[in-house]
Structure 1
């Protein structure tokens, strides 16, 4: 073997190492070979998935579970384009990912003029809809700063994916750049403007019926949950969590009004507030109960994404990181008035009772039992990942994350998120995780059984097999009287998992809990299959 001459690929890997990166997700490709060869000379751990879309879902799950930005390598053209669907979820939800993509050689960038393999007209433009920023690198000297800037931008609120594209010849050519041992990064904070925080505090202090709506921005903010509690307790305000905000306040806290956002009683509570503080949420389609929400009081909206402010309702808009804004508001609020916390506690308890009574009138005993069985079987501190499936939609509202974390794909709503995200999270944290999918969504990630086995990921995958796209079946039947194209041929999931060398079990409703609990205690990957047809609760 000839002596290696440092090249652009080495500069990339050295830069990532200096940033503290430990794991890389992706799939090798022809134009990216310089990247992957450089990994061989590093201490980076490469996690090879089987489909680029699942690499991006994996990077997403890793970042959510570890709290650190994720990094993925993709190759040119088909590989890069295949990753974009999953990057939309990270972009919409605010998950920091640095994507390093290869490109054709410099002379071929800018169109299909050279007939090069994987060449497309404008790869950078393709990535722009699902990333916070894109950069094309045409010289190795640009690599360290391009990646360091992407690292900073990915974490700047609102967080999200950032795309760095490097030409193949830049990755392969000898580089005069000295070995990278340091990087310069800067993640700016986003505090609230003082006059806006003062106005918000004035309105809240004068409210008779304050309510807080806590979104995913509260969870993602380093100080968000702590400062949320300070504001809620100062006001005696009940707190409703969105699906993305689930866990921002413990369900066990007396001011928690749960997260039944797809319920008329919750919508009524939000509407009846004379001052509603919505933090870290766009108050979008699901959170607004499909835009049936019509606030009658003053609406204060805090969000790190300025485009979200007032996008659906007139608001006092505060462009800020959730935790920083809540901290200032909490400092400005007077001590809680006598009886305020008790009143808020009673409001939260009454809402929970009304929601439970409404569910009790819908003949949903099997679905309620299923979700209760899952909650009982899953350890309190587990990270759980939910696909766009009926059980996942139930989990948006009913799942109590307890001491763990709840993750779903409600940001962009694409299928196939749960399993690749959960297995990457298991690799990154070194702890068990649970993925929940339907049979339709499971087929998106079935190839990642090979990844789970290859990396011995401590992930348990629950597949609820209802014979098709269950939620679309319900939507179409409700709208048109019958469903079309929702019924699916599917494999024997147990036999298929076993073919990958992964333990698998077919369970009934009666054996689900004990089997799932046992598999979550066993190290390594496993699959549990339940054949059932859960139904959705009535939305309004």
Structure 2
């Protein structure tokens, strides 16, 4: 058959290096999905659009590649917003491509098309980095290349394109796309800023480095390790910066960001080098961090530069900035505060043996090189502080903080990972993704889903009880997760804290999807920030 606008979309994606795409078809997008069927792209279809967006996010985080998300108009497009908000908050390069009503209906005239919105694009403008409506087939390759480049350029993030139904179904009108290029624009630091940063760090008596997610996204771990070693500076990792610095390194202060002792170390630094973090709520112990010294902030997102604290702001990609900073500083002896002993002593003073054993059991069961994806649940809040990522990344939805992220994102990762992937949810978050058990079965994706069943929204239960002395809306009726998983053909087991390590290891060792259900009422460690608010 003759080529269409839909073919131009898939040809452009292939030319730019895409291999896997995620999404859900719809009436206005059928031309795109028919073309997809004729392409070399591997399609993974979710059961809801928000889960498709999470799956694309998980794939993009795992590969570091721009990942296409293909959906239809109106309700389908709007359902991606929660996933795209998470991608935006966590700087994940998802390329959303949505169909639109026929071109004759664009412009807000309300002509009564199915799925019609007066201005669908407006819903996405404040969520993603870039939006565009494509109005002719000849625009498609350039529009996709433009969006791809923007998504891949620091700060990475999601973008959004809309293509009317008639353009997707109409003739391509141009030759097959072969030579498309969308190299990201490098974000290099300014030399005079680096010189001043080097001077401050060299003269510091108590320098500390705070490593954020920008280090991981920019692949700047080797440069951070070399710079920290040269400065003799201890390194604290934010929750989003898990994996930025070796967990057990002599300079590592790990990531106990909700611990007052960690906040004190950051506060007392005479020069704090913040790399790839905006020092937002979770990276400042709920905004109780009050710096006493100078801050040097390296940040690719211009909007986050000095957004929370005054600093010597360096607008740059973390890898390029650290690489340029290394030769500007001299070798010096390390000065590392005894922070981790204080953290351990504080935990030992609380009755948290079950929680610590459960997290240790998960860590022992998971292979060192297996990625993990965590929902907004109590065990994940523990993992933010206590999880050693080892050779693989720990991914969470802490950017936007929405529920339901872990399982669909893990499925997206499993589409490209050779080996097991772990997803961790509470029973509340798990209810968002139960339909994706069908997706896991259909594509035989190697994801083990650990569901910690405490009968409600556990973290909200704790927050409400602590703030008001009672709870409301936090208790949930839920299904028999084991029986439900088995009804999808997914092997499942109900475990206990004592058997968790063995049961989870067995599930991870098997091939294909599996579910492990842990009925347990876990508690958070006592916060140390409340009295400082």
- TM-score (normalised: structure 2): 0.98
Which residue, out of 438, 441, 445, partners 1:457? 445
Distance in 1 (alpha carbons) for counterparts of 2:522 and 2:168: 51
Give 1:22 deviation, angstroms.
Answer: 1.1
Partner of 2:321: 325
Give 1:431 deviation, angstroms.
Answer: 2.3
Question: Residue 278 of structure 2 aligns to a residue in which SS?
Answer: coil
Give 1:42 deviation, angstroms.
Answer: 1.0
Question: Residue 428 of structure 1 aligns to a residue in which SS?
Answer: coil
Give 1:314 deviation, angstroms.
Answer: 1.1
Structure 1, residues 4-23: CA drift from partner, whole Å, max 9, x if none?
12110011111111112111
Distance in 2 (alpha carbons) for counterparts of 1:75 and 1:382: 33
Which residue, out of 302, 307, 314, partners 1:311? 307
Give 1:68 deviation, angstroms.
Answer: 1.4
Question: Residue 234 of structure 1 aligns to a residue in which SS?
Answer: helix
Which residue, out of 449, 453, 471, partners 2:459? 471
Distance in 2 (alpha carbons) for counterparts of 1:457 and 1:399: 24
Partner of 2:36: 39
Displacement over 2 Å in runs of 4+ = none
Partner of 2:93: 96
Q: Is the 8 A contact 2:239 2:255 kept in 1?
A: yes
Give 1:176 deviation, angstroms.
Answer: 1.0
- Does the alignment pair 1:64 with 2:66? no
Give 1:112 deviation, angstroms.
Answer: 5.4
Partner of 2:531: none
Matches within 5 A, 1:17-28: 17-28=14-25
Matches within 5 A, 1:137-536: 137-222=134-219, 224-334=220-330, 336-337=331-332, 340-341=333-334, 343-344=335-336, 347=337, 350-536=338-524
Give 1:43 deviation, angstroms.
Answer: 1.3
Q: How many residues align?
A: 528
Q: Is the 8 A contact 1:145 1:184 kept in 2?
A: no
Q: Is the 8 A contact 1:516 1:528 kept in 2?
A: yes
Q: Is the 8 A contact 1:92 1:411 kept in 2?
A: yes
Instruction: Please report the RMSD computed on the Cα atoms of aligned residues, expressed in angstroms.
Output: 0.8
Distance in 2 (alpha carbons) for counterparts of 1:500 and 1:464: 20
Distance in 2 (alpha carbons) for counterparts of 1:258 and 1:196: 28
Distance in 1 (alpha carbons) for counterparts of 2:263 and 2:31: 54
Distance in 1 (alpha carbons) for counterparts of 2:174 and 2:135: 14
Question: Residue 326 of structure 2 aligns to a residue in which SS?
Answer: helix
Distance in 2 (alpha carbons) for counterparts of 1:307 and 1:72: 26
Q: Is the 8 A contact 1:468 1:486 kept in 2?
A: yes
Partner of 1:10: 7
Distance in 1 (alpha carbons) for counterparts of 2:109 and 2:470: 46
Question: Residue 530 of structure 1 aligns to a residue in which SS?
Answer: strand
Which residue, out of 129, 132, 137, partners 1:135? 132
Q: Is the 8 A contact 1:49 1:451 kept in 2?
A: yes
Which residue, out of 113, 118, 123, partners 1:121? 118
Distance in 2 (alpha carbons) for counterparts of 1:384 and 1:440: 19
Structure 2: any 5+ residue segments left out of the alignment? 529-533
- TM-score (normalised: structure 1): 0.97
Distance in 1 (alpha carbons) for counterparts of 2:517 and 2:80: 28
Distance in 2 (alpha carbons) for counterparts of 1:530 and 1:110: 52
Structure 1: any 5+ residue segments left out of the alignment? none
Distance in 1 (alpha carbons) for counterparts of 2:101 and 2:194: 49
Give 1:496 deviation, angstroms.
Answer: 0.5
Structure 1, residues 275-325: CA drift from partner, whole Å, max 9, x if none?
000110011101100111100000111100111111111111110001111
Structure 1, residues 407-448: CA drift from partner, whole Å, max 9, x if none?
001111010110000011011223210000000000111110
Give 1:186 deviation, angstroms.
Answer: 2.9
CA change 1:112–1:504 in 2 (3 A) is farther
Distance in 2 (alpha carbons) for counterparts of 1:279 and 1:525: 37
Q: Is the 8 A contact 1:57 1:417 kept in 2?
A: yes
Q: Is the 8 A contact 2:375 2:425 kept in 1?
A: yes
Give 1:229 deviation, angstroms.
Answer: 1.0
